[in-house]
A and B are shown apart, each in its own frame.
Chain A
Amino acid sequence: MAKKPDLPQGTLDLLVLKALSLSPMHGYGVGQRIQQLAEDMLTVEEGTLYPALYRIEQKGWIESEWGVSENNRRARFYKLTRQGRKQLAVQESQWEHLTAAVAKVLQAT
């Protein structure tokens, strides 16, 4: 398995918010969905995913409740709150701004 890049600090939060903006999902699904969306270019470690979920939940951007998974098991589903939706928009625009700026710097010769 090729070495995949580490996520820059804080980026995981953005990815989690984005993944959950599509639909509520359990923790395992969040990890899977990020991996799929990144077309397997990223792997989210459980050791970072769950702390991120707990932290974001504490901030009030997402909330969780028990639901039933696709294979009929009890699973904890996370979903965006209204605040989380706003936060996603803010972070997305910040990210675009940042990457554009970084790209400009890197393109310099």
Chain B
Amino acid sequence: MAWRKVFRDRLRALRNSDAVHREIDEELLFHLEMRTEENVRRGMSPEAARREAEKRFGRLTQIKELGYEVRGGGWFETLWQDLRYGARMFLKQPGFTLIAVLTLALGIGANTAIFSVVNAVLLRPLPFAEPERIVWMSDTLPQLGAAPTSLPEFLDWKDQNQSFEHVAAFLNSSMFLDTGGGTPDTPVGIVTPETFALFRVSPILGRTFTDEETLPGRVRVAVLAHSMWQNRFGSDPNVLGRRIDLDGVAYTIIGVMPEGFSFPDRAQLWRPLPIDPNKLDRGPHYLRVVGRLKPEVTLTQAQAEMSALAARLSAQHPEKNAGHGVKLELLRDVVVGNIRPTLFVLLGAVGFVLLIACANVANLLLGRVGVRQKETALRTALGASRLRLVRQLFTESMMLSIAGGVAGLLIAFGGVKWLVSMAPTTIPRVHEIAVDPGVICFTLLISVATSVLFGLAPALQASRPELTDALKEGGRSSAGRQRNRLRSMLVISEVALSLVLLIGAGLMIRSFAKLNQIDPGFNPDGVLKMGVSLLPSKYPDDERVASFYQQLVERAAATPGIVSAAAISDLPLLGSNTSDYFTVEGRPPVAKQEEPSIEYHVVTPRYFESMGIPLLAGRDIGWTDTKQAPNVVVINEAFAQRHFAGENPLGHRISLQGQERDPLLIVGVVGDVRQLGLDRMPVAEAFVPYLQDPLSKTYMRSMTIVARTKSDPAAIAGSLRAALTSLDQSLPVYDLKPMTEYLSDSLAGRRFNLILLTAFAVVALLLAAVGIYGVISYGVTQRTHEIGIRMALGAEKGDVLRLVVRQGMIMALCGVAIGLLASFALTRVMESLLFGVSVTDPLTFTVIALLLTSVALLACVLPARRATKVDPLIALRYE
């Protein structure tokens, strides 16, 4: 029968291919057929019978839609329907889709990358059993604050406390491992036997150290880290008993630790900390101490007990321990302490970038609300509920943000790799940074949150039930006005947010510029530096070491292209290496706690000349300043000003605490260098001749050679290395680089923050500019008609330009004003990252506000120029 086919066709056209739809169609079709047959039985013609049956149904679509929603699969079916619809629409507008997804991908990707750093460094527990019970223990000294402790103090802490299961001491050291084909610098943990029990790790092969193996003559044993066992010994199960050569001394391998255990950070192997019960000196403080709290003891209780213990020790040993205390901190806080503010600032910054990205995409979607108004109106007329429409729009937002999330994840994978490769060594736990399942969950979460953020306003706007308005016209209705207001608000917040980011970046740039302007006190241009270490096995005594360094420095100076060369124990910028108390001869004695301290260096002659440090008075150290000659010292200007104000320091003598030798005659004064870092003021320093240094036997086997070249230091590096290794083929030479590079390396941490923050700020600026541009050019399109009338009535191009630009600039200036206020409130969180600028630096605030305003102006002028080209005749016909 013909009418049956008509029904089928019609229903087929309406229905979707999925099962639930088919079932509902079939049920309704069955009803229609039954009714039609009934009508025919009552004597109607087939056509009339069909019409009557159809008429009785009324709103077929609405019935069906209700059906889908009620029937079991309805939720998923609707979702599937919306997904397909959304996909079709996005594919039809590839430009819009690409921009939206890319914007979101940038925002989500940057957040994911920074979050993976935060996750690895701050959030993930340290890779030890019950890390929250591991405590870092420092000695607090009257003038220096928290510091490492001395061996006897550690032993007292260990033996006399009630709060800790274990207390262990360690040194984070590095030694030269003889591999047969070179002697790479290898991180070594020098530890007490309790260390392994404290971290609750057991060796997978062999054993760890016994207490006897800390005694003199017994310490030549080593435990390997898993990676060392794998890489150097091919996971050989028979590795126990084999020997390795560290700093020219053979150690017997007694154990292998499981994979993943590395404490101190990056340790490749461990050897026992030597404890000689006959030589316990409370003077030198060099040991790091960790403890594991007993289960029932809190940190506060432990702190109280240890403070009491420290007071007791101070009373027992007033000559060395007077005023010493103990400070307990969670290990985790010590490991990540310094980086925390940096990471929070970066996390805040990427959060802003994401908000700006959301505002931009919301703006794009709002722009399309007008375009889609007829579609939504039609759907409403056909019976779609508002909820249904919102749901559909939300599904589309979700699709965008999931696509953005996936693309963002790809960006994050690349970003994390890049971050890790350029992260300064000052970031702890760098090797743990990765995009792991936790990070992926985070990405998923922010993608969903993002879609709510940018999708909510457009969805509510688009689904406003204003059918008649919508069907008539788009822009000039009240809904249109409201939408424009919403878009303006979004742009204002974008501008405000990016201003905050730009000011943050601006402050970092200013700090960095200030740091780069700082005179380090030496002239790095044309200078090469390299580390050199003498293995004790080859150079067992002072004389051999002394003569070798003299040869080395002379050979370096004789290399073609080199003007002068010298060696020093520790270069400027390295921080405090050896600091000593001293007294000035002939001055009244001061209390032990108030003795002044100096930074102590050992140098060869011509160090100051090679570094370009000016000699202000007296003379340089010479090769004639030997142990047979009177002891001499060169001091820096800060020393002279602080301790010899108004006096000539030359001719005075000073005595260094802990050195049992004749007082040192001050023979020279040199200019200040920034010893503790470019961002720290110069401190008092003393330079002692290499040949007179009493500690050379144990400490000064590693020195840094500095060589001033005539021209390009990088070109000479190779011949310098060759000249030095020609003296000793197995000589470990490391960190050979131009001094300028060394100088800029010292700012690596700051440069890292600077680059990231600037990158985020630039992205923010671009997004904000795109946002302003989008809103203004949309506004111009909407107002074409009005502009046409104005021009027909005699408005000049300039008037139109002003009209449009003014609209945009009002938004931009509102955003700038809000952003300035927010910056005043927010930049103080960056205080610890800045140098030499105030957190409300007026110059930065002004320049950045002007910069953003100019970019906004540009973003307004481009569409405004289009407005001036409107042809009144065409515009008046334009709808």
> A51 is contacted by which of B23, B26, B31, B66 (Cβ under 8 Å)?
B66
Separation of A6 and B725 alpha carbons in the complex (Å): 107
Contact indicator A69/B30 (Cβ below 8 Å): yes
Contact indicator B31/A28 (Cβ below 8 Å): yes
User: Which of A12-20, A71-79, A86-94, A101-109 lies at the interface?
Assistant: A71-79
For residue B33, which residues in chain A have a CB less than 8 angstroms away from its CB?
73
User: In the complex, which residues 30-70 of chain A have their Cβ closer than 8 Å to any Cβ of chain B?
Assistant: 45-47, 50-51, 54-55, 57-58, 66, 69
Separation of A71 and B62 alpha carbons in the complex (Å): 28
Contact indicator A47/B59 (Cβ below 8 Å): yes
B28 at interface (Cβ–Cβ under 8 A)?
A: yes
Q: Chain A 3-29 against B: per-residue CB contact (8 Å), 1 yes, 0 no?
A: 000000000000000000000001110
> A54 is contacted by which of B34, B35, B56, B66 (Cβ under 8 Å)?
B66
For residue A54, which residues in chain B have a CB less than 8 angstroms away from its CB?
63, 66-67, 69-71
Contact indicator B56/A76 (Cβ below 8 Å): no
Q: Chain B 127-168 against A: per-residue CB contact (8 Å), 1 yes, 0 no?
A: 000000000000000000000000000000000000000000
- Which residue of chain B is the closest to A56 with respect to CB atoms? B70
Contact indicator B56/A50 (Cβ below 8 Å): no
Contact indicator B66/A74 (Cβ below 8 Å): no
On whether A57 and B70 interact (CB within 8 A), knowing A28-B30, A76-B27, the answer reads yes
For residue B26, which residues in chain A have a CB less than 8 angstroms away from its CB?
74, 76
For residue B66, which residues in chain A have a CB less than 8 angstroms away from its CB?
50-51, 54-55
Separation of A65 and B71 alpha carbons in the complex (Å): 11
B233 at interface (Cβ–Cβ under 8 A)?
A: no
User: In the complex, which residues 278-292 of chain B have their Cβ closer than 8 Å to any Cβ of chain A?
Assistant: none
- Which residue of chain A is the closest to B37 with respect to CB atoms? A71
Contact indicator B30/A47 (Cβ below 8 Å): no
> A45 is contacted by which of B27, B28, B56, B67 (Cβ under 8 Å)?
B56
B237 at interface (Cβ–Cβ under 8 A)?
A: no
- Which residue of chain A is the closest to B63 with respect to CB atoms? A50
A36 to chain B: closest CB distance in Å?
Answer: 13
Contact indicator B67/A50 (Cβ below 8 Å): yes
Interface centre among B23, B70, B71 (most CB of A within 10 A): B70
> B57 is contacted by which of A46, A55, A57, A75 (Cβ under 8 Å)?
A46
B58 at interface (Cβ–Cβ under 8 A)?
A: yes
Contact indicator A58/B70 (Cβ below 8 Å): yes
User: In the complex, which residues 58-77 of chain B have their Cβ closer than 8 Å to any Cβ of chain A?
Assistant: 58-59, 62-63, 66-67, 69-71
Separation of A76 and B20 alpha carbons in the complex (Å): 12
A100 to chain B: closest CB distance in Å?
Answer: 34
Contact indicator A74/B70 (Cβ below 8 Å): no
B567 to chain A: closest CB distance in Å?
Answer: 87
> B63 is contacted by which of A26, A28, A47 (Cβ under 8 Å)?
A47
Separation of A57 and B20 alpha carbons in the complex (Å): 15
A108 to chain B: closest CB distance in Å?
Answer: 39
- Which residue of chain A is the closest to B27 with respect to CB atoms? A76
Contact indicator A27/B58 (Cβ below 8 Å): no
- Which residue of chain A is the closest to B68 with respect to CB atoms? A54
For residue A73, which residues in chain B have a CB less than 8 angstroms away from its CB?
30, 33
On whether A46 and B30 interact (CB within 8 A), knowing A28-B35, A57-B70, the answer reads no
Contact indicator A76/B30 (Cβ below 8 Å): yes
Q: How many residues of A contact B (CB 8 A)?
A: 18
For residue A69, which residues in chain B have a CB less than 8 angstroms away from its CB?
30, 34
For residue B62, which residues in chain A have a CB less than 8 angstroms away from its CB?
51
For residue B27, which residues in chain A have a CB less than 8 angstroms away from its CB?
26-27, 75-76
On whether A50 and B28 interact (CB within 8 A), knowing A45-B56, A45-B58, the answer reads yes
> B30 is contacted by which of A51, A57, A58, A74 (Cβ under 8 Å)?
A74
- Which residue of chain A is the closest to B23 with respect to CB atoms? A76
For residue B70, which residues in chain A have a CB less than 8 angstroms away from its CB?
54-55, 57-58
For residue B57, which residues in chain A have a CB less than 8 angstroms away from its CB?
46-47
For residue A28, which residues in chain B have a CB less than 8 angstroms away from its CB?
30-31, 34-35
- Which residue of chain A is the closest to B53 with respect to CB atoms? A46
B122 to chain A: closest CB distance in Å?
Answer: 48
Separation of A69 and B38 alpha carbons in the complex (Å): 15
Separation of A69 and B35 alpha carbons in the complex (Å): 14
For residue B69, which residues in chain A have a CB less than 8 angstroms away from its CB?
54
B10 to chain A: closest CB distance in Å?
Answer: 15
On whether A51 and B34 interact (CB within 8 A), knowing A45-B58, A46-B57, A75-B27, the answer reads no
B672 to chain A: closest CB distance in Å?
Answer: 83
On whether A51 and B56 interact (CB within 8 A), knowing A57-B70, A75-B30, the answer reads no
Separation of A51 and B68 alpha carbons in the complex (Å): 11
Separation of A65 and B23 alpha carbons in the complex (Å): 10
Separation of A58 and B67 alpha carbons in the complex (Å): 10
Separation of A6 and B544 alpha carbons in the complex (Å): 116
B32 to chain A: closest CB distance in Å?
Answer: 9
Separation of A46 and B52 alpha carbons in the complex (Å): 12
- Which residue of chain B is the closest to A45 with respect to CB atoms? B56
Separation of A54 and B63 alpha carbons in the complex (Å): 9
A7 to chain B: closest CB distance in Å?
Answer: 15
Separation of A47 and B59 alpha carbons in the complex (Å): 6
For residue B56, which residues in chain A have a CB less than 8 angstroms away from its CB?
45-47
For residue B30, which residues in chain A have a CB less than 8 angstroms away from its CB?
26-28, 69, 73-76
For residue A76, which residues in chain B have a CB less than 8 angstroms away from its CB?
23, 26-27, 30
Separation of A46 and B60 alpha carbons in the complex (Å): 9
Separation of A75 and B29 alpha carbons in the complex (Å): 10
- Which residue of chain B is the closest to A29 with respect to CB atoms? B34
Separation of A73 and B28 alpha carbons in the complex (Å): 13
- Which residue of chain A is the closest to B56 with respect to CB atoms? A46
- Which residue of chain A is the closest to B67 with respect to CB atoms? A54
Separation of A26 and B62 alpha carbons in the complex (Å): 20
For residue A66, which residues in chain B have a CB less than 8 angstroms away from its CB?
23
B571 to chain A: closest CB distance in Å?
Answer: 78
On whether A46 and B31 interact (CB within 8 A), knowing A74-B26, A76-B23, the answer reads yes
Separation of A27 and B26 alpha carbons in the complex (Å): 12
Q: Chain B 17-29 against A: per-residue CB contact (8 Å), 1 yes, 0 no?
A: 0000001001110
User: In the complex, which residues 1-50 of chain B have their Cβ closer than 8 Å to any Cβ of chain A?
Assistant: 23, 26-28, 30-31, 33-35
Separation of A55 and B71 alpha carbons in the complex (Å): 10
Separation of A45 and B62 alpha carbons in the complex (Å): 14
Separation of A73 and B63 alpha carbons in the complex (Å): 22
B209 to chain A: closest CB distance in Å?
Answer: 71
Separation of A76 and B23 alpha carbons in the complex (Å): 9
* Residues of B near any A CB (own CB < 8 A): 23, 26-28, 30-31, 33-35, 56-59, 62-63, 66-67, 69-71
Q: Which are the 5 A-B pairs with shortest beta-carbon distances?
A: A47-B58, A54-B70, A76-B27, A58-B70, A28-B34
Query: Can you list 30 A-B pairs with a CB-CB distance of less than 8 A?
Result: A27-B27, A27-B30, A27-B31, A28-B31, A28-B34, A45-B56, A45-B58, A46-B31, A46-B56, A46-B58, A47-B56, A47-B57, A47-B58, A47-B63, A50-B28, A50-B63, A50-B67, A51-B66, A54-B63, A54-B66, A55-B70, A57-B71, A69-B30, A69-B34, A73-B30, A73-B33, A74-B30, A75-B30, A76-B23, A76-B26
* Residues of A near any B CB (own CB < 8 A): 26-28, 45-47, 50-51, 54-55, 57-58, 66, 69, 73-76
Question: Given A46-B35, A47-B63, 11 other A-B contacts at CB below 8 A?
Answer: A27-B31, A28-B30, A28-B34, A46-B56, A47-B58, A54-B69, A54-B71, A73-B30, A73-B33, A74-B30, A75-B30
